[in-house]
């Protein structure tokens, strides 16, 4: 049997969440398919802020949104490689590593020695057959031909200094990248040791475009480990900008001051790579048989904190012979399958995909509470961040669905359309976030404000549509918005800012609060003063002519002593006839019936407009989004 092939993996190598100053860094290799063991294989590891191995206490896998069986976790990468090399003399390491470092006489005392000793210690900790590429640079660069990790240490000690009056970092990285790109190894790392100075771009003027260099590294599947030491004071400002741009794609980045700190960081990074663990995820029978695309997500737990790594969609194909066999089998059972499908359709009936989405009953409940379109959209974004976009594509049949009676009224339907229009309008904008929000984010990140307090400040100082738009943004849109805003608020362009804003985004979605529901009737016709407001002051208000009623409607002989009761259950209002007839939107009702903001109500000879409003964070309150998921 020919093996399955991995056609596409969205991420070649993942590093989370950004520079070391923002938290730990996670390395995940591209996944491969092992046809013999029928498993998906990849390497996973963590690096602390100081560059040391981050111990992972548990690894969980989710496939297509459902938990997958526990993965098989191997010993550290170094031990695994050593065992494989002993068993097979032709075994090749799946890792290739590039090294770029500044090598000039003018570096601060002790730095050059620390670079050599640290680089030698880095490669000593890797499997000996790991492919290694080194490029020294000063005013020019000197690449070293491909070596093994076990050979590179001695080679570096034999090389003399380069001219260093105008160091050229960008060109050296491009040279090393070409070597790494041509290498056939499974995953690739580039270790850069620099002070950040660069004096020539491809046009020969000024520093290179390091944001573009970082982008090219990402496209090639090469991920960066960046260690920096102080540059001369005259070039410090430009060097800092170069390093910030180079780290913009989310990398391990640490700036050190002392030579011993530099050497220790390099050696620790080598150990962290050596400590990568291979994990194997069993491939279900259906994958092996039919191929197809499947979304894979990994959860890593360390220090009691759980982090998610998105592998994206993994696509598998089967060989042509298997496809022919499957086609013949499918043809043989086609008639039986058609009969079974027809029978099941007859039993189940037709039900659209939109009907199953819990966001619909949630929207219906918010409209019933009389919530404004802006606030309703913010609440729905908080409760359903993954499916909020689908609200704009709901089929028109929803307006005749008996489960959502409020959407059959003019007022309810109008409010639903307002929410959808607002969602469509915002999603069509290039960036739904305003400078006022970016200013608050920049202020919070500069002051290192905890995410929860920053979220509270945003919710208190800005309109609902702004924090709602922020909580709804996906990773790519958020990164794009921060890059655009960094022109006006430079702190938002720092690599650590993305992780901080993600934490604030999570805090916004998790905000708690209390809710308050208020309702009243406005007289629109009949006996009495037109426009008169009748406030409902209890969660269960008796309406009628009797003195014991909570809402006394005098002057109308057609109103019974106890005509009806209006109740409020966690912000959901309903009216129930008792001793007299009731009409809602000109339709007589005989049992308890929900009411929404703007409904017309006929009691006796009078006509009223029902008004209600709910304030507070409904998403986590007693009558909030959790309750909305039930059928109306």
Residue 378 confidence (pLDDT): 73
- Nearest alpha-carbon partner for 298 in 25, 62, 65: 62
Please give the Cα distance from 375 to 572 (Å, whole number): 16
Residue 205 confidence (pLDDT): 65
Residue 238 confidence (pLDDT): 93
- pLDDT tens-place string over residues 549-592: 888 888 888 999 999 999 887 677 889 999 899 999 888 999 98
Say what the alpha-carbon torsion angle 137, 52, 21, 168 is, to the nearest 10 degrees. 0
- What the block records as the tokens of 182 is 């041509």
Query: Is 209 exposed, middle or buried, given 0-12, 13-18 or 19+ CB atoms closer than 10 A?
Result: middle
Residue 603 confidence (pLDDT): 92
Which phi and psi angles does 421 have, rounded to 5°? -65, -40
Please give the Cα distance from 89 to 87 (Å, whole number): 7
Residue 485 CB contacts under 8 Å (≥ 6 apart), including other chains: 433, 435, 438, 441, 442, 492
Residue 237 CB contacts under 8 Å (≥ 6 apart), including other chains: none
Residue 118 DSSP class: H
Please give the Cα distance from 246 to 210 (Å, whole number): 5
Residue 225 confidence (pLDDT): 95
Contact 429, 466 (CB under 8 A): no
Residue 614 confidence (pLDDT): 62
Query: Is 456 exposed, middle or buried, given 0-12, 13-18 or 19+ CB atoms closer than 10 A?
Result: middle
Residue 333 confidence (pLDDT): 66
Please give the Cα distance from 205 to 464 (Å, whole number): 47
3-state secondary structure string across 459-519: HHHCCHHHHHHHHHCCHHHHHHHHHHHCCCCHHHHCHHHHHHHHHHHHHHHCCCCCEEEEE
Residue 147 confidence (pLDDT): 92
Residue 193 confidence (pLDDT): 97
First-to-last alpha carbon distance for the chain, in angstroms, is 53
Taking the domain 80-273, which CATH number applies?
3.40.50.410
- pLDDT tens-place string over residues 510-546: 654 444 567 888 888 888 888 888 888 778 889 999 9
Residue 12 confidence (pLDDT): 38
Contact 249, 215 (CB under 8 A): yes
- What the block records as the tokens of 208 is 């290179």
Q: How many helices (H) and strands (E) does the chain have?
A: 19, 28
Q: In the chain, which stretches have pLDDT less than 50?
A: 1-21, 346-355, 427-430, 512-515, 615-632
Residue 345 confidence (pLDDT): 57
Domain 515-616 class, CATH top level: mainly beta
Contact 50, 265 (CB under 8 A): yes
Residue 370 confidence (pLDDT): 72
Q: Which 3 state secondary structure label does DSSP give 398?
A: helix
- Nearest alpha-carbon partner for 562 in 581, 582, 578: 578
Please give the Cα distance from 584 to 565 (Å, whole number): 14
């Amino acid at each position: 049997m020919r093996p399955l092939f991995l056609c596409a993996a969205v991420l070649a190598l993942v590093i989370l969440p950004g520079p070391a100053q923002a938290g730990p860094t996670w390395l995940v290799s591209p996944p491969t398919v092992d046809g013999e063991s029928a498993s998906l294989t990849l390497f996973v590891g963590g690096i602390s802020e100081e560059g040391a191995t981050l111990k992972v206490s548990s690894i969980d896998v989710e496939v297509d949104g459902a938990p997958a069986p526990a993965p098989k976790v191997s010993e550290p990468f170094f031990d695994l490689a050593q065992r494989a090399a002993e068993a097979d003399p032709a075994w090749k390491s799946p890792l290739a590593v590039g090294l770029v470092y500044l090598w000039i006489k003018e570096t601060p005392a002790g730095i050059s020695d620390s670079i050599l000793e640290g680089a030698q210690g880095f490669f000593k900790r890797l499997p000996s057959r790991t492919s290694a590429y080194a490029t020294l640079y000063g005013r020019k660069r000197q690449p070293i031909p491909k070596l093994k990790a076990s050979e590179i240490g001695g080679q570096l000690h034999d090389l003399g200094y380069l001219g260093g009056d105008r160091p050229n970092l960008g060109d050296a990285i491009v040279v090393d990248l070409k070597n790494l790109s041509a290498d056939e190894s499974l995953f690739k790392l580039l270790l850069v040791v620099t002070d950040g100075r660069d004096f020539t771009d491809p046009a020969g003027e000024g520093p290179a475009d390091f944001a573009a260099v970082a982008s090219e590294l990402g496209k090639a599947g090469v991920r960066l480990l960046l260690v920096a030491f102080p540059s001369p004071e005259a070039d410090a400002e430009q060097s800092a900008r170069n390093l910030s741009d180079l780290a913009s794609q989310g990398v391990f980045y640490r700036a050190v001051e002392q030579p011993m700190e530099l050497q220790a960081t390099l050696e620790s990074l080598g150990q962290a790579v050596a400590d990568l663990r291979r994990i194997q995820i069993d491939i279900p029978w259906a994958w092996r048989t039919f191929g197809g695309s499947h979304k894979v997500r990994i959860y890593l737990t360390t220090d009691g904190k759980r982090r998610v790594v998105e592998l994206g969609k993994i696509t598998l194909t089967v060989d042509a012979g298997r496809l022919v066999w499957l086609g013949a089998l499918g043809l043989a059972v086609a008639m039986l399958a058609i009969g079974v499908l027809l029978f099941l359709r007859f039993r189940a009936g037709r039900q659209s995909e939109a009907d199953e989405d819990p966001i619909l009953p949630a929207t219906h409940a918010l409209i019933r509470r009389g919530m404004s379109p802006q606030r309703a959209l913010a609440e729905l974004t908080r409760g359903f961040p993954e499916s909020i976009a689908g609200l704009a594509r709901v089929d028109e049949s929803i307006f005749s669905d008996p489960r959502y009676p409020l959407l059959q009224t003019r007022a309810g339907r109008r409010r639903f359309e307002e929410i959808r229009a607002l969602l469509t309008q915002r999603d069509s904008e290039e960036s739904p976030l305003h400078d006022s929000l970016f200013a608050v984010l920049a202020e919070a990140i500069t002051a290192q404000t905890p995410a929860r307090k920053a979220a509270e400040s945003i919710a208190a100082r800005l309109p609902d549509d702004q924090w709602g738009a922020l909580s709804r943004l996906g990773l790519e849109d958020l990164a794009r918005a921060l890059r655009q805003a960094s022109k006006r608020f430079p702190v938002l362009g720092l690599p650590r800012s993305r992780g901080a804003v993600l934490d604030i985004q999570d805090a916004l979605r998790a905000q708690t609060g209390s809710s308050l529901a208020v309702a009243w009737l406005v007289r629109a016709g009949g006996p009495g003063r037109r426009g008169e407001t009748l406030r409902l002051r209890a969660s269960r208000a008796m309406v009628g002519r009797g003195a014991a009623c909570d809402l006394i409607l005098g002057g109308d002989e057609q109103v019974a002593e106890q005509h009806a009761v209006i109740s409020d259950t966690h912000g959901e209002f309903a009216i129930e006839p008792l001793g007299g007839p009731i009409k809602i939107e000109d339709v007589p009702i005989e049992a308890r019936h929900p009411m929404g903001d703007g409904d017309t109500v006929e009691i006796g000879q009078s006509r009223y407009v029902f008004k209600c409003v709910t304030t507070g964070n409904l998403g986590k309150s007693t009558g909030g989004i959790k309750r909305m998921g039930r059928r109306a």
